Structure 1
Amino acid sequence: MMNEAKERPDTPCVAVCSTTFDDVCRGCGRTVAEVADWVFMNQEQKEIVWSRILAQGYPRRNR
């Protein structure tokens, strides 16, 4: 699992930012708070977010 983390970009952002209808970005799948706090998260916290958003089918580039 650690190899997967090293192969990923530092952020799930795909520059498709939209939280119009809820507080989850339709591009990366992170909450507004996760996006705002991302640069302050340690690697373990980021891995928790990555695991959740990947399981939910994010990041999405064309949605």
Structure 2
Amino acid sequence: MGVCTTLYDEICQGCGRTLNEVSNWVFFSDEEKASVWKRIREDGTATRFQRQAKENKPA
């Protein structure tokens, strides 16, 4: 999505994944990926999901 940045943190501010999750993403099963996205959506702090929430918010 082009906004990934950790700024030396353990969590990417763009997508909400940990550095370990980002670096090993291609090895994760579909179930593991779904679990990560579920956690990130529930947390709601990643830019990715803040943007989606704004786009889906009724006017």
Same fold (TM > 0.5): yes
Give the length in aligned residue pairs. Answer: 49
Deviations 1:11-35 (A, max 9, x none): xxx2111111411000000001100
Give the C-alpha shift of residue 59 in structure 1: 4.3
2:15 pairs with 28, 34, 59, which one?
28
Alignment of 1:18 onto 2:5: yes
Q: Percent identity?
A: 47
For CA contacts below 8 A with separation 6 or more, give which structure has more relative contact order: 1
Cα distance in 1 for partners of 2:10, 2:32 equals: 19
Following TM superposition, the consecutive aligned residue runs of length 4 or more in structure 1 with deviations greater than 6 angstroms are none
Deviations 1:29-55 (A, max 9, x none): 000110011111001100110100111
Higher Cα radius of gyration? 2
**Aligned Cα RMSD in Å?**
1.8
Secondary structure, counterpart of 1:55 in structure 2: helix
Unmatched 5+ stretches in structure 1:
1-13
In proportion to residue count, which structure has more helix?
2
**TM value normalised by structure 2:** 0.71
